[in-house]
Structure 1
Amino acid sequence: MGDNNEPLVFAEDIAELASPMPAPWKILIVDDDPDVHAATKLALKGSLIEERTLSFVDAYSAAEGLSLLEQNADFAVALIDVVMESDDSGLNLVQNIRDKLNNHSIRLILRTGQPGYAPESDTIRLYDINDYKTKAELTRIRLFTSVTIAIRSYSQIKQLEAKRDGLKQILAATSELTRLTNGQNFSSVVIKQLCALLKTERECLVCAASHGHNEPSFIVAATGHFSSWLNMPLASLPNERIRTHLTQALNERQHFFHDGVCVYFPGKDNQALAAFVDMPRAISSSEQYLLAVLCSNIAVAYENFQLYRSIEQLAYQDPLVCLPNRNGFVAEIERQMRLNATTPQAVVLVDLDNFTYINSVLDDAYGDDILRAVAQRLCSQLSKSLCIARVSGDVFGILGDASDLTPESIETVFAEPFRLHQNEPLRLSATSGLIILDKTSRHAMEILKNAGVALKQAKHFHRGKTVLFATELADAARDRMQLLSRLRVAFSSERLTLHFQPFIRLHDGAAMGAECLLRWQTAEGQHIPPDHFIPLAEQSGMIVALGDWVIRTALRWRAGLIGRVDDTFRVAINVSLVQLIEDNFVANILHYIHTQGLQGYHVEIELTESMAAHDINSVIQKLKQMREHGISIAIDDFGTGYSSLSILSSLPIDRLKIDRSFVSGDAANQPHFGIAHTVIELATNLQMHTIAEGIETESQRDTLRQNGCLEGQGYLFSRPLDEAQFNQWLAQQ
């Protein structure tokens, strides 16, 4: 046998250890006669009721019995003598058990040796008791019968109470689960509620699975001895028994209540949860019923939780690039502001240059590929601690330490070409607006707005670069918005007017036409320069309605001059590219000309060189349509834009207007107006006429005329005049 001193364990002992007997029913005997105690125990000795033995506790007075019941509420039955300290002490004890202790589960059997003190019918009617017998009546068989009936009644009541309490707990658990939005918190609450319902220590874990996908199942919550298994793949669990139970529950999609408790919760889109509770005992049918109800409610809560997460994902994540969207970015900025980081934080808005053009020339699918490639590059090359989001079409937002968000780091992202379809390289550039967060930054939307201000400034003046936000930029943007608002009010209240500056034939001084110029005088008498409000009207789209009013008003004015000026007298109207690209622009202007009884040659349209930046073929088509109806076309401020000679030669243009910067001021001191002379020669070669702006002296007029310029306008002849003043000027001519 060697040195093995371990005790032998027999087979009967093993079976007994494997299946421990349930706890006995506790019986309280309350009687002032010790012989009654002994007789009762002797009569019930060895009794087995509902497969459980009996254990007895003695009390020799009503007060002692009440004290024992206050300390322990697990008694199934109390055998109570009616007459003890007083004639009704047993009845008072019954009343105290029900009312004072609020114990309605324990079954009460009243016994009396003096039946006359408490009539049987009145006692049964007035008190919540199971039986009322004289001690002489309670033979061994009758006592066993009464106790058995009482214990069965107690067992049923306890089961009903357990179900009632369990259902209350299930309702509370469901309410708690429906409020959760975090996956790990949801799983942790599932563990808590399962263990609470089963009245066991929290030795439990939850596993998540995705049916029909290649994604492995893994542990999403774990407590007790299983805590170290959190986030571990199911296939790697070191405990084969638990691993097998969870795998079986997930594969067969059902609960298992043997060798522990393993329950299954189906979700949406083939997602599922399974939970394992390491139970030291078999669970009752009542517990199985409650578990089934709880699991059903958890499954519904799980689907609602997934639905909430889906809605949250739609609300806070961009599906194309799998990054936070604008809402998510705003939420992250607000969270960062609450943290009060010790290091300076920054927000950058990165706008891809010419993305709209690329998207329109190629297709949306190619544009989507570009956005995904840029998102991937931003995430891979910038610091992992940064929050990167897609805040609008081709604008990305970045939040994080200012040291990681420098103009150089952003430019590095776009230094190398992107490789897309068939590995073809595509070079992209981006323009950025950057703002450093400080204690004055209170609202995320304000931060985004200021970063947007810096971005717009960069787009206008520093394309392809990063502009740091300054308060002056915000002030200027606010002033522009206020000015635009005032412009809308002025337009609707008819505070805008037209002035007219005549075109003069240089060799004889004859009036050949007039340019109409928009003027704005506020109610306070302040004159707002056109170069302040016209760009705002163009950027906001208001120029379409405003330009339409200018055309109608100018043509009505020209119609009023019929018979007072030569028939070739033309009115020149400045037209923005924003107006010109409107589909119905040509049709509208022809309609207005016809309505006023005019001809096409009475009208001249003045455009800037910036129209060459648009779809030139569309512009040429519309210019040809107008020329076919006699409308002449002029290029205003020629020489200050960026049109090429090849584009200029292809445009159907009648006249070039020489910008005032080449005529007056410092240009007047140049011999023979060098640049103006070049423009005149160019127009002659292209078979176009010329008209010079800004003529202020006779010397300028003579030099221009000698160089071949046909017409001019400027203060030498007349400043811009309102309608009444122009009529007076005509009369003087």
Structure 2
Amino acid sequence: MTDSEAHKDDELVFLDEHESGPAIEAPRKSWRVLIVDDDPDVHSTTELALRNTLILNRPLSFLHAYSASQTRELLANEGDIAVILLDVVMENEDAGLRLVKNIREDFGMSETRIILRTGQPGYAPEIDAIRDYDINDYKTKSELTRNKLYTTLTAAIRSFDQIRAITTSRRGLDLIVHASAELMALHGMRNFAAGVITQIAGLLGLRPEGLVCAQDAMDEESPESGPTIIAAAGRHTALINQPLSSIADATLREGLLRCMRERQNIYDEAGTLLFFPSQASARGDMAAFLETDDRLDETDRRLLEVFCANIAVGFDNAALFSRLHAFAYYDQLSRLPNRTHFINQIDRRLANPDHAGFVLGLVDIDHFAETNDALGHLFGDRLLQEVATRLKQSLGSQVTVARVAGDTFGLLGPAERMSPSILIALFQEPFRVDGQDLMVSATCGLLNLADSNTSGAEALKDTNIALKRAKQRSRGEVSFFTRAMGIEIQERVMLLQALRHAFDNERLFLVYQPQVDLATRRVVGLEALIRWRAENGAFIAPDRFIPLAEHSGLIVNIGEWVLRVACHQQAWLARMGFGHVRMAINVSVSQFRHPKFPFVLRRAIEDSGADPACIELEITESMAMEEADFLLLTLNKLKENGITVAVDDFGTGFSSLSYLQRLSVDRLKIDRAFVNEITDSQRGSQIPEMVIQLGHRLGLSIIAEGVEDAAQAQRLQELGCHEAQGYHFARPMEIGPLLEWLQNR
């Protein structure tokens, strides 16, 4: 190339040359270029040079501003500008540089590329300008030849397009994340599907006009079946729950079928069709239609592809959520609401002003465990299903029926539908299970919601108290909750807590009541009795706290403590000269059943140095009979150490003579209830006399408790009773006063 030719190519005034690129049909959009310069010739020559030029297959369109202030006014109303060709010197020497800051900071145009042009080379050093200002390129006007201007603009527009694509994708992904979160908060497949339409429209900046259809996975092979519209928005709303064939627009109808058949998204002039595959949903594959005014560009399509992949999982998650909701709130065996759901319904009813007219009930199947064990769990499950069906059908839709526990059903309904007579009548007819007629009874606890101003959980707890009270009275009973029941339960709980605290803080202690030989009035034994002195000095009766200790299991620890203390006191009394006096210690059923009991007893005797022959265990008659086989094995081991065994409260149960013989007990203890009546009449002494004669025939010693006066002692002696204890001889005493009493005798 000659120098003249090169110079000609560098001139700023350009000719309309063909080198700008091949002629291509103009696409829909153009790149917007803003020229900012106070010289009108620069505007005209720049636009002339780039006329009919395509960059990245799109034409250019130009905006013009002749000063910094005019540029600010223009930018306040115009957007989507790809490149700004900006003159450095306009109103003043650094007007262009100041304008850069306005463009970036005030107008937030971070994607737009800024090419700074100056006609005064060296006025604003390139390095300083690029370092201090967000400028993408810096050129002198003399070096911007036609080819270089084209190259510079191409690079700037390519950069703008890439940055905008990244920004749009990032913004779109943020919208997708937000849309997904919004959708996951929707419960149920239909709500989720409706939300998909709304979120896609929001993603694309469109009005929500569209629908979602789904093919039932169970019927998709059936030729007569077809997809169903499960959600719709805008002018398509009337199509909800209709078959796809009901869509009048044949193009739309065929498009949806094609979308599901080809399992891919379809973009055309009619709108956008999106495919959502399903892996786990009870619904099969789904397709959505959204009205789009224009063909979507590549960026929009990429976002929709990501959205569809994400939401396809969301559809399955919505179906999974529906199943989890069923597991969380419904009993899978009976298909009734479970305890959690039932409590929520009680809460809603309590929040209603008319709740006073409603009754809450618990129905417990009597002896269900025995039926389950005898006939099998499958039979038991079917029985529960039959009970659930009868409750729902008989009580009607006004009554909510739930399964709140294994064999316990909850009821909530108007008082007139929840009367005891109605509930009892439900179990007057047999239940048909596996071809068998089975009579079943039920025990019920009821609560008038007028008596409950708390929560559903508290109301259900009070109803359970009524149920337990009914069970205590008799199976098949119905009991209403009363305030007195609640107070009693609260007192029991508080008393149990106080008992634990008293035991931990050594507020329990032992007293000892002497046992005497009726013939000689000589002291032959002591019964260790537990006492509880509260912190205020008052005594709590044993018949109040011992049952609580047994029910809670605390009796095992308390019993071990009693054993150790009583054994130590027997050894101490022996050292004081009373080695012949035996120590009687009461043992509870829970304590005796404990596998470590023999070891605990042996260790207590060994650690204390007590004489095993002077240690006597007292067990109740009911315990001796109910636990006879177990006691036989355990007592034989214990008696090998030399201890003796007495049966307490004898005569209050139904003893078997064979068990008494096999157990090898040493002593029978006549209950105080019979001793109290022994002098009232001839009939009053019959049971003590029978017990004494029985003991004689079995070779057992007989001791009577609760002897209050000399007449009772005399009558017992006449009947042949060997020993006695009671206030007539001595009251229970602590160890210090006891020793003094023994020494005085």
Q: Relative to structure 1, is the Cα distance of residues 493 and 63 closer, same or farther in structure 2, using a 3 angstrom cutoff?
A: closer
User: CA–CA distance in 1 between the matches of 2:337 and 2:474?
Assistant: 28
Unaligned runs of 5+ in 1: 1-20, 31-40, 81-88, 111-116
Q: Distance in 2 between matches of 1:95 and 1:714?
A: 106
Please say if 1:173 is aligned against 2:179: yes
- The 10-residue stretch of structure 1 (448-457 or 55-64) with the greater mean CA deviation from structure 2: 55-64
SS class of match (1:453) = helix
Cα deviation 1:280-329 (Å, max 9, x = unaligned): 66544333211111123324555666676677666655556555555444
- The 8 Å contact of residues 618 and 648 in structure 2, kept in 1 or not, is answered as no
Structure 1 residues 74 and 589, CA, compared in 2 at 3 Å: closer, same or farther?
closer
> Could you say what secondary structure the match of 2:274 adopts?
strand
Alpha-carbon shift at residue 637 of structure 1 (Å): 2.6
Residues 429-455 of structure 1 deviation map (CA, whole Å, 9 limit, x = unaligned): 3342535256732x4443344334334
What is the CA–CA distance in structure 2 between the aligned matches of 1:558 and 1:175, rounded to whole Å? Answer: 75
**Partner Cα separation in structure 2 for residue 490 and residue 60 of structure 1:** 95
Q: What is the aligned partner in structure 1 of residue 490 from structure 2?
A: 478
Give secondary structure in 2 for the equivalent of 1:516.
strand
Equivalent AA in structure 2 for residue 541 of structure 1: G
Q: Where does residue 522 of structure 1 map in the other structure?
A: 534
Q: Whole-Å Cα distance in 1 between the matches of residues 722 and 668 of structure 2? A: 11
User: Deviations for 1:325-347, whole angstroms, at most 9, x for unmatched residues?
Assistant: 5544444444444x434232444
**How many residues are aligned here?**
698
Residue 194 of structure 2 aligns to a residue whose secondary structure is helix
In structure 2, what is the equivalent of residue 599 of structure 1? 612
CA distance in 2, matches of 1:425, 1:214: 44
Distance 1:549 1:94 in 2: 90
2:193 is matched with which residue?
Answer: 187
Which residue does 2:447 correspond to in 1?
434
> Aligned AA for 2:440?
R
What residue is the counterpart of 1:697 in the other structure? 709
Q: How many Å apart are 1:544 and its aligned residue?
A: 0.8
CA drift of 1:715 comes to: 1.7
Query: Which of residues 341, 348, 361 in structure 2 aligns to 1:348?
Result: 361
* Alpha-carbon contact 1:195-1:201 (below 8 Å) kept: yes
The residue number in structure 1 matching 2:20 is none
Change (3 A) 1:373 1:549: farther
State percent identity of aligned pairs.
34
Question: Scaled by the length of structure 1, what TM-score is found?
Answer: 0.73
Residue in structure 2 matched with residue 683 of structure 1 by the alignment: 694
Q: Return the alpha-carbon distance in structure 2 between the equivalents of residues 364 and 629 of structure 1.
A: 46
Q: Which residue matches 1:659?
A: 671
Residue 538 (structure 1) shift: 0.8
Partner residue, 1:465: 477
Match of 2:589 among 572, 577, 590: 577
Structure 2 residue identity aligned to 1:581: R
Report what 1:290 is aligned to: 303
Counterpart of 1:721 in 2: which secondary structure?
A: coil
DSSP 3-state at the match of 1:343: helix
Q: Hey, what does 2:5 align to over in structure 1? A: none
**CA apart distance, 1:545:** 0.8
Match of 1:227 in 2: 237
Distance verdict in 2 for CA 1:376–1:232, change over 3 Å? farther
- Which residue number corresponds to residue 204 of structure 1? 210
Return the alpha-carbon distance in structure 1 between the equivalents of residues 363 and 249 of structure 2: 51
Q: Map 1:437-586 onto structure 2 (within 5 A).
A: 440-441=453-454, 443-461=455-473, 463-562=475-574, 564=577, 567=580, 569-586=581-598
Specify every segment of 5 or more residues in structure 2 that has no aligned partner in the other structure, as ranges: 1-25, 36-46, 87-94, 130-134
**Could you say if the C-alpha distance between residues 292 and 315 of structure 1 is closer, same or farther in structure 2, counting changes exceeding 3 Å?**
same
**Cross-structure match for 2:90:** none
Counterpart code for 1:223: A
- Residue 501 of structure 1 contacts residue 719 of structure 1 at CA under 8 Å; is this kept in 2? yes
* Superposed displacement of residue 649, structure 1: 6.2
Please state whether the residue corresponding to 1:524 is helix, strand or coil.
Answer: coil
Deviation at 1:492, TM superposition (A): 2.1
CA distance in 2, matches of 1:147, 1:68: 21
| Letter in structure 2 aligned against 1:669 | D
Answer yes or no: is the 8 Å Cα contact 2:651–2:687 preserved in 1: no
SS of match in other structure, 2:583: strand
Give how far 1:376 is off: 5.0
Per-residue deviation, 1:583: 2.4
Q: Who is 1:262 aligned against?
A: 274
| Cα shift readout 1:608-638 (whole Å, capped 9, x = no counterpart) | 42665x5654345444554566554444333
How has the CA–CA distance of structure 1 residues 69 and 621 changed in structure 2, closer, same or farther, with 3 Å as cutoff? same
Cα distance between partner residues in 1 of 2:256 and 2:412: 42
Residue 719 of structure 1: aligned partner: 731
d(CA) in 2 for partners of 1:658 and 1:169?
86
| The 10-residue stretch of structure 1 (569-578 or 206-215) with the greater mean CA deviation from structure 2 | 206-215
- Report the Cα offset of residue 263 of structure 1: 2.1
| 2:22 alignment partner in structure 1 | none
In structure 2, distance between residues paired with 1:481 and 1:191: 57
Shift of 1:229: 4.4
Q: CA deviation at 1:724?
A: 2.7
Between the aligned partners of 2:203 and 2:485, the Cα distance in structure 1 is 62
Contact 1:203 1:226 in 2 (8 A): yes
SS in 2 for 1:694: coil
Q: Distance in 1 between matches of 2:373 and 2:566?
A: 36
1:673 partnered with 2:693: no
**Structure 1 position 539, deviation (Å):** 1.1
Separation in structure 2 between the aligned mates of residue 518 and residue 146 of structure 1, nearest angstrom: 103
Alignment-mate amino acid for residue 539 of structure 2:
H
Q: Give the counterpart letter for 1:191 in structure 2.
A: I
Distance 1:627 1:421 in 2: 53
Distance apart, 1:669 and its partner CA: 2.3
**Counterparts of 2:247 and 2:659, CA distance in 1:** 76
Paired residue type of 1:530: P
**Residues 237/451 of structure 1: CA separation in 2 closer, same or farther (3 Å cut):** farther
Measure the CA separation in 1 of the matches of 2:632 and 2:252.
Answer: 78
Matches within 5 A, 1:234-253: none
What does residue range 75-114 of structure 1 map to in structure 2 within 5 Å?
none
SS of 1:669's partner is coil
| Residues 25, 53 of structure 1: 8 Å contact kept | yes
What's the CA shift string for 1:344-393, capped at 9, x where partnerless? 24443444444556667777666666655555554454444555555455
2-structure distance, mates of 1:496, 1:558: 19
- State the Cα RMSD in Å: 5.7
Work out whether residues 670 and 688 of structure 2, in 8 Å CA contact, stay in contact via their aligned partners in 1.
no
Counterpart mapping for 1:379-458 below 5 A: 379-384=392-397, 386-392=399-405, 394-420=407-433, 423=436, 425=438, 427-432=440-445, 434=447, 436=449, 440-441=453-454, 443-458=455-470
Q: Secondary structure at the match of 1:663?
A: helix
Q: Deviations over 1:265-288 (max 9, x none)?
A: 546578766241143665443332
Q: CA deviation at 1:103?
A: 7.4
How many Å apart are 1:261 and its aligned residue? 0.6
Measured after TM superposition, the shift of residue 170 of structure 1 is: 1.9
Aligned equivalents of 1:376 and 1:214: distance in 2?
33
TM-score, normalised to structure 2, is 0.72
CA deviations on 1:623-666 (whole Å, 9 max, x unpaired) are 4554566554444333445x46589668735544332222226x
1:582 & 1:491 partners in 2: Cα distance? 20
Q: Tell me which amino acid in the other structure corresponds to 1:683.
A: L
Residue identity opposite 1:671 in structure 2: Q
From the superposition, tell whether residues 156 and 731 of structure 1 become closer, same or farther in structure 2 (CA, over 3 Å).
Answer: closer
Q: 1:41-81 CA deviation, whole Å, 9 max, x = no partner?
A: 9x99999999999999999999999999977868999999x
Q: CA deviation digits over 1:162-201, x for unaligned, max 9?
A: 5455334223323433545555443332221112234444
Following the alignment from structure 1 to structure 2, what is the Cα–Cα distance between the partners of residues 24 and 587?
A: 95
